[in-house]
Structure 1
């Protein structure tokens, strides 16, 4: 199979990475709780709700944009076109950004600082094991057009 037909991933790693990170944060919070100053509980809760709303909105917008362009949503499928509109104008990975904002929002609502640490770890692992493979796939499929897109659009934010 040539690079043009190669899938970016053989397994849906993003869901596993973010799910494992969240589960690890919950377990760590149970057995190794970190002290959190709760001076602005309402502010943290409202900010967490806003982040969760933003995360869900970004994810839904990204999925709708991919569906409208008739290209793959799942990271185990080949891309049929390079999507550079919708949330993809601002970030090359809006769905993963949404997952990250969701974890941070839940961390604020539950006052679980381990979720912040887990979100940072998930971003790092996703970049190394998922995003780079997806970028190689898109580069092999779309060449210079993808390179130009990378130069003008940030990987995350």
Structure 2
């Protein structure tokens, strides 16, 4: 039996990765602060607020879509169905995209640009440690249907 068929991950990496990104950004800002001038502070706050709304909306929509599709929200469990509707119709990883946007947007709102850099690092690590395993799980469970979905839907955006 294929090891990926039963479940994609044995540990919930995404919360840990994004938490470490936030902690690292806070630490870097203490040692290497990047100061923004007044007009940029206001612009960054506005962009951050907009991105926060988008990120939270995307995550809520993704979780709602998974629940409505009667499949798991948790990455450590075996998925029951390949979900391709809702936010999954334009990105294969809407929750991770939401986490990344939220991390970057919080940094913009508090004026800590290290959050933006660490959001990119967390997204890269999520791709390497999480998404590739999840994709192997989905490929082993859904085969050609998942391959077709991958050809027509981008991994991130």
TM-score where L is the length of structure 2: 0.95
Alignment length, in residue pairs?
A: 157
Q: For 1:32 and 1:41, how far apart are their aligned partners in 2?
A: 18
**Runs of 5+ consecutive residues of structure 2 not aligned to the other structure:** none
| Alignment root-mean-square deviation, CA | 1.2
- Deviation readout 1:100-134 (Å, 9 max, x if unpaired): 11011111111101101100100100000000000
- Deviation readout 1:4-30 (Å, 9 max, x if unpaired): 642100000011001111111011111
Q: For 1:82 and 1:59, how far apart are their aligned partners in 2?
A: 18
Runs of 4+ in 1 over 4 A off after TM superposition: none
**TM-superposed deviation, 1:39:** 2.3
Correspondence for 2:150: 150
Correspondence for 1:29: 29
Correspondence for 1:127: 127
More helix, by proportion:
2
Contact 1:55–1:101, Cα closer than 8 Å, also in 2: yes
**Runs of 5+ consecutive residues of structure 1 not aligned to the other structure:** none
Change over 3 Å in CA distance of 1:93–1:22 after alignment to 2: same
Q: For 2:40 and 2:24, how far apart are their aligned partners in 1?
A: 26
Q: For 1:27 and 1:18, how far apart are their aligned partners in 2?
A: 14
Q: For 1:140 and 1:76, how far apart are their aligned partners in 2?
A: 15
